Amino acid sequence: MRVTIFGATGLLGKALMREWRGDEVVGLGSKDVDIRSQDQVAETIRLHRPEWTVLAAAYTDVDGCESHSQLAFDVNTHGAANVAKACAQGNVRFLFLSTDYVFDGTKRTPYEIDDPISPQTVYGKSKAAAEAEIRQAHLEFCILRTSWVFGVGGKCFPDTILKLAATRAQLDVVSDQRGSPTYTVDLARTIMQLSRKDARGIVHATNRGNCTWFDFATEIVAGAQLTTRVRPTSSDKFVRPAKRPEYSVLSSRSLEQYGIELPTWQDALGRYLAERGLPTTR
């Protein structure tokens, strides 16, 4: 199978390039092709003639999107539409990475794929608009929503916590936001499986289980055998440009229909710490 990955130099893209085996994979970064250019995208699809295209490229700075909304929509919405249209014209199946931020966070049970979306941030709105564009442009698509992505090779929550814990005796982390951490290695393997299973429609994929950011930080510090004290606090003590959903746990039901089950987030975190070469308790 021939696969083209847009966003191959990003956090998830790097994992996709490392993990994808047994197929002919071409990875492209922003220096190779600007997804905001319909002509560049169309030419790329014509050149590589993929059977599957994975769009992992995105403007993912959630707070940055609030002050750079035009860039957010140019990359996340119009860029996705360009790739979807080029794939439709070339009869190429298309997998798009979306987000838990398309939901408003008011639910208290895991979000299903057919729950109403109501994004509360520019980032979420740009991704929701992309989903709509893809539905109009392409029939053979898979929209994969995920959350709290972390991995080696880029900025992510565990990386931030480890750096802060190296210099501070105490960290305050919010305990009133709940979601599911997702390891790029497991997500990359899931994308590979979904492509080989010819997945269609919307799928939710995260590591199993859920936690608060406080729980996550506590596990990171303990797993890395650090002595920093982690204290719970509330979101109103850490006001940020983009409002975070209080609850954004995604149901695994749609993924299980393809016979795929991800490891727990605790297991994933242990492997992440080991991948970083840290002595761990796991």
Evaluate whether 237 touches 172 at the Cβ level (below 8 Å).
yes
Active-site residue identified among 123, 183, 247, 272 = 123
Question: What is the per-residue pLDDT for 139?
Answer: 75
Question: What is the per-residue pLDDT for 282?
Answer: 52
- Point out which residues pair with 99 in neighbouring strands: 146
What does the CA dihedral 173, 66, 147, 278 come to, rounded to 10 degrees? -50
Look up the CATH number of domain 2-154+181-209+248-263. 3.40.50.720
**What Å distances lie between residue 117 and 49, 55, 250, CA to CA?**
34, 21, 12
Tell me the whole-structure pTM to 2 decimals. 0.96
**What averages of pLDDT result for each successive group of 10 residues across the chain (282 residues)?**
97 98 97 98 97 97 98 98 96 97 97 98 98 89 98 96 96 98 98 97 98 98 96 92 95 98 98 89 54
**DSSP alpha helices (H): ranges in 138-212?**
157-165, 184-196
Question: What is the per-residue pLDDT for 268?
Answer: 98
Beta-sheet strand order (sheet of 52-55): 24-28, 2-6, 52-55, 93-99, 141-146, 201-204
**What Å distances lie between residue 26 and 5, 20, 41, 53, CA to CA?**
6, 10, 14, 10
Annotated active-site residue 247? The verdict is: no
273 — phi, psi (to 5°)?
-65, -40
228-253: string of b/e by CB count within 10 Å (b at 16+)? bebeeeeeeeeeeebbbbbbbbbebe
